[in-house]
Structure 1
């Protein structure tokens, strides 16, 4: 004889409520993962921007290191120029470098559609400390400590929108 299988109370499928509950859980998990990847993408883009700024600062530092020491030392020795970084004083500084149009491009670059401003700042306090130390006096007379600061021209003031590199402009006798 044949047995008849009856459907009803022993049915083993998913109800509509269970399917909807699993969809809600899956949606919440996917939203969390989406926000994680969005934050990771934003962080990676910030790191890319920071890398560009560090490279621009190094480029400006390298350019300044290759300029004549005497005129730059004279420029920074003048007390009125200490508070005037090179990016803000293009006219007087243009006499210090071999090609002022190159200086303009170096201090105000536009990379990938983003405008940057580069400031070359003389660190007078550091040089004064070196000059006052008898062991470092000879070295201090041949070096100008500078700080190169790169900022996004239209960015807000934050650590992600600025970068600094310190270095020295050495006299021709040391190079």
Structure 2
């Protein structure tokens, strides 16, 4: 093949050649845009889950500041007891399962996503256990809804008595 002849040709490209090259370029661009779309969705979901984990940690820190003996005794008497954390007047407030929740209270909201927080005992407390007086293992569940799809995350933690701090 004579390359000088091809490059010296001044006729330009035909319409078919241009359309074919645009089609190939379009397929490549659409494929790469799909990658970016999936990466954005994944990053957005991880952002919401990270916020939920931070909400759960804050709930554990809030409960740790409550009266240790009262919390431990309630979970000992009823292992199925559940504690709900809400925001009332810009402060955290806890509600036991059988207590009514104040109507002015609402779920914890971060970036327009409402997180519903509940805390349960992680295991049945045994008064004969050596850690009973100082340690209560808890499980924090955080639920949120995005586009009518339910999401949840769970955090294991514990509260410690003021006596060992």
What do residues 88-144 of structure 1 show as CA deviations (whole Å, max 9, x unaligned)?
9825687xxxxx98xx56xx201121111001110124x55xx77xxxx42343110
The match for 2:158 among 158, 164, 168 is: 168
CA contact (8 A) 2:81 2:96 kept: no
Equivalent-residue separation in structure 2 for 1:85 and 1:92 (angstroms)? 5
For the aligned residues, what is the CA RMSD? Answer: 2.7
The match for 1:86 among 83, 91, 104 is: 83
Task: Give the direction of change, closer, same or farther, for the CA distance of 1:91–1:169 in structure 2 (3 Å limit).
Answer: closer
| TM-score (normalizing by structure 1) | 0.71
Equivalent-residue separation in structure 2 for 1:112 and 1:22 (angstroms)? 44
- Structure of greater Rg: 1
Structure 2: 5+ residue stretches without partners: 1-8, 86-93
Q: Report which of the two has the higher share of helix.
A: 1
Equivalent-residue separation in structure 1 for 2:39 and 2:58 (angstroms)? 29
**Structure number with higher relative contact order (C-alpha < 8 Å, ≥ 6 residues apart):** 1
Q: How many residues align?
A: 145
Q: Report which of the two has the higher share of strand.
A: 2
Which residue in the other structure is 2:15 paired with?
A: 16
What do residues 70-96 of structure 1 show as CA deviations (whole Å, max 9, x unaligned)?
1111111122xx2232129825687xx
